[in-house]
Amino acid sequence: MNRIERSILSNGLRVAIVPIAGLRSTSVLLAVEAGQWFEPAGRAGIARLMAQAMLRGTKMRDATTWAGALDALGAVARLDVGQHAAVFSAQCLGTDLRELLDLMAEAIRTPALADAEIEFVRAQTLAQLEKDERDTRAVSDRAWRQLVYPDGHPFRVPPIGDASVVRTARPDEIRAHHRSAIAPDGAVLVIAGGTTARDGAAAADHAFGKWAKRTEPHETRHPLATLSTTKHRVELVPDKTQSDVIIGWPGLPRTDPRFTAARVTNMVYAADTFASRAGHVIRDQLGLAYYVFSGMGASRGQSPWIVRMGVNPQNVKRAIEVALDELRKVTVGQIADDDLALAKDKLVGELDVALESPGGVAAMVLEAEMFDLGDDHFERYPRELRAVTKDQVVDIARLFLPPERYALAVAGPPLPDILV
């Protein structure tokens, strides 16, 4: 990892700058604690509505003028609501960093959130929700979340939210959420690429130095997600040829000390279609699916830990059985030494390969900063990955991925087999 220049602005915003010599462009990530985790209870979708509306004009410039200024830099930018944070991600030429950060700061600190723009975002979001109704990935994701997370849990619905909330969200409610959620304390700004530490720091301070701190405490409490039994849901989506399958469990927080071992467990089991057990058997040996992979989110909560497969309906039952069989092997310690070594090698090797792009560097640094993984994280992390033992993998799998208790969602054409 290149040298990381860290600082904290007087308002609490943490800044990490990674100059990379020889690059013309710079990647910027600004993560604010305004993800689903911080959304008002029962108001799923408010955070994303707010984020989208923040990109539609500021108190100084209307939506057209702000968007024109961004395009005039040739920059690309988006603001996504994730499980933990709302992340403003952007890329610009290194020479335009100051202008880009000023534009981002304007949208973050002083968005207009005008009624007309909120209505525009509402209509776009409702259209997307309508589109999602016939999207097997979106349908399976929504169904799976409902099986796993209790009422009131922020991960019970995807970030786009519930249609009923999107329809009824009041502009005042969105503006109030902006006041409470968008603040520099807890936020992290990462700049990686074609800039210097000095220029990056000056640009960050110019853009965000006067961003006011939060005035009210920003506390959250959410119900625990537990799976006491296996749960199934099959959703019929008309006129499709392939079923989307999700098998999953509530995961563990990124701040949990077992998270590194969990990442190795994930890789051994199913993270990669080609390097992990599930993909090796389901795709390579049996030809049942084009893709099989698992993912575990990084948040302060129990993000989804899920296996996804795209499978012909004739093969759904078999693919699920095989995925669970491979998991059972992990939980009883039937893990070849070479499979464990491969998983660790891959995770360590990826750290080097990710350095090839400013975006890859920025993403790694953001995770480390956002979850307080320590200034020496990039020195320790490869060693910690290497130190994970088979026993730890087995323990993690038994505890977090019990094959006898899982949530299964399938969306697509009618299935020939009864799944339960």
Residues within window 265-294 making contact with other proteins, judged by CB under 8 A = 272, 274-275, 280, 283-291
Q: Toward other proteins, which CB reaches closer, 104 or 252?
A: 104
Site string for other proteins, 346-375 (x = CB under 8 A): xxxxxxxx-xxxxxx---------------
Q: At CA 111, angle to CA 109 and CA 113, rounded to 5? A: 145
Question: Of 180, 58, 173, which Cα lies nearest the Cα of 108?
Answer: 58
Helix and strand counts by DSSP (H, E) for the chain: 15, 11
Would you call 153 helix, strand, or coil by DSSP?
A: coil
Q: Is 238 in the site for other proteins (CB under 8 A)?
A: yes
What secondary structure does DSSP assign to 60-90, as a single string?
SS-HHHHHHHHHHTT-EEEEEE-SS-EEEEE
Q: At CA 141, angle to CA 139 and CA 146, rounded to 5? A: 100
Q: Is 23 in the site for other proteins (CB under 8 A)?
A: yes
Q: Is 91 in the site for other proteins (CB under 8 A)?
A: yes
**Part of the chain binding other proteins (CB under 8 A), chosen from 223-231, 311-319, 329-337, 369-377:** 311-319
A 10 A CB-CB count for 161 gives 22
Least separation in angstroms between residue 251's CB and other proteins is: 23
Q: Is 24 in the site for other proteins (CB under 8 A)?
A: yes
Question: Of 400, 410, 380, 390, which Cα lies nearest the Cα of 343?
Answer: 390
**Part of the chain binding other proteins (CB under 8 A), chosen from 200-208, 255-263, 321-329, 341-349:** 341-349
Strands 304-311 and 243-250: antiparallel
CB 147 within 8 A of CB 229: no
Q: Toward other proteins, which CB reaches closer, 252 or 323?
A: 323
Tokens 């990056």 belong to residue: 200
Q: Which two tokens stand for residue 305?
A: 């830990």
Phi-psi region of 346 (alpha: psi -120 to 50; beta: other; left: phi over 0): alpha
Least separation in angstroms between residue 81's CB and other proteins is: 10
Site for other proteins in 116-155 (CB under 8 A): 120, 123-124, 126-128, 130-131, 133-136
Least separation in angstroms between residue 99's CB and other proteins is: 12
Question: Of 163, 211, 229, which Cα lies nearest the Cα of 405?
Answer: 229
**Pairwise CA distance, residues 246 & 406, whole Å:** 10
Single out the residue of 20, 85, 157, 181 in contact with other proteins (rule: CB under 8 A).
Answer: 20
Least separation in angstroms between residue 19's CB and other proteins is: 10
- Torsion of Cα atoms, 170 then 176 then 181 then 184, to 10°: 140
Q: Is 197 in the site for other proteins (CB under 8 A)?
A: no
Q: Is 414 in the site for other proteins (CB under 8 A)?
A: no
Least separation in angstroms between residue 339's CB and other proteins is: 9
Q: Is 71 in the site for other proteins (CB under 8 A)?
A: yes
Q: How many residues bind other proteins (CB under 8 A)?
A: 82
CB 140 within 8 A of CB 86: no
Single out the residue of 74, 150, 223, 414 in contact with other proteins (rule: CB under 8 A).
Answer: 74
Listed in sequence order, the residues at least 6 apart from 144 whose beta carbon sits closer than 8 Å to its beta carbon are 233, 246, 248, 304, 306, 407, 408, 409
Least separation in angstroms between residue 378's CB and other proteins is: 14
**Pairwise CA distance, residues 247 & 224, whole Å:** 19
Q: Toward other proteins, which CB reaches closer, 293 or 400?
A: 293
Q: Is 63 in the site for other proteins (CB under 8 A)?
A: yes
Q: Which two tokens stand for residue 50?
A: 């707010």
Single out the residue of 4, 16, 34, 52 in contact with other proteins (rule: CB under 8 A).
Answer: 52
**Part of the chain binding other proteins (CB under 8 A), chosen from 70-78, 168-176, 226-234, 392-400:** 70-78
Q: Toward other proteins, which CB reaches closer, 130 or 404?
A: 130
Tokens 């537990």 belong to residue: 226
Q: Which two tokens stand for residue 309?
A: 């497969």
Least separation in angstroms between residue 313's CB and other proteins is: 9
Single out the residue of 201, 312, 384, 399 in contact with other proteins (rule: CB under 8 A).
Answer: 312
Single out the residue of 246, 311, 335, 368 in contact with other proteins (rule: CB under 8 A).
Answer: 311
Single out the residue of 4, 29, 92, 166 in contact with other proteins (rule: CB under 8 A).
Answer: 92
Q: Toward other proteins, which CB reaches closer, 16 or 92?
A: 92
